[in-house]
Structure 1
Amino acid sequence: MGLIMKQNLIKKDTKKIFIFIMLFKINFINLLKYIPLYIISTIFLVFHLTIISLQLFHFNNINDYLLFNTLYKSFYYIIATLLQCIFIFFICYFFYNKQREEDLIKIEQRSGINTKYIYLIRLLISFIVIFTYITFYLLISIPLLFLSNLSFNLVSNVVFNQVTYL
């Protein structure tokens, strides 16, 4: 009798683990539709930074410009990254479409998994997506920031040499 009860408990635990994996998969697939948003927001931010760096050409002293530009870009990157991550977190966590929500409720009713576990799964996936987004953002933005500073240095050297040559 005890062996049969243990087997039934193992079956119930295995079923709950399988349902937990299914919930994770459904939520993760639902979040994949936001990948274009990550790409578009990163491209927008990089172009915005490029425009800002081009607008700051009115400095007379190159050293003042470089100091201001480096500090400004650093703070702008940090603030913009945090704001975008918060924005994307809210999108990922709160704005699921109704069909997925109904599917999750049906799975929850069949499996007996508590609602707080479903929200914990969503929270976990949202943090995974944000970490992936930050990694993607840094992989794109750091080389572009380096290239924009390099191009600015080349342009500023040419302009500075032309001005001193006159």
Structure 2
Amino acid sequence: MEVPEGPENFEGVPNMPKVFGDATQAVKVFSEYNRLAFSDEFQQIFNERLDFTKPDVLVKVQSVWLQASYKALDNTGFGHLKDMLGPGKIPDLLKLMFMAYNDCPEVIKLGAFIRGPYAQTPPPNVVTVGSNLPELTLISLAGETVGLSDLHINKDRPMMIMSSSAS
């Protein structure tokens, strides 16, 4: 699986000690993490564990990323750092990399596919608070095209549609 591209810098991420030592070691660990996370092996794990009809799907997604983090640490000789990661700690290797090595261009390049809270950068075309939303069209289950502004519970309250994807 090919790693998607993303933002070029990650400003606003808090710093922490460089637990892998120099950036060369961090790049080695992050490269292994990316190899695993985008491998057919981990895609299969995602396919087996994830049921998007279940409310715990995001917990399952996080557990797969954590498993990839643990395996990458083991494969690169940093297995002793696994205790730093997990629920209630640093969630996975990605967060650790951006917190400790956000000043390393190679780490930033390896993590360029990340958007959102890890990268602290908004996706392109973010709607700002107070601005009008663009009109969106949706395809109904019946195959009809419907404008999002046409979906109302009543005339004063627009319907809110929430969805998510682990991909």
Is the shorter-chain TM-score for this pair beyond 0.5, marking a shared fold? no
Higher relative contact order (CA 8 A, sep 6+): 1
When you count strand as a share of all residues, which structure comes out higher?
2
Q: Which has the larger radius of gyration?
A: 1
TM-score, length-scaled by structure 1? 0.29
- Larger helix fraction of residues: 1
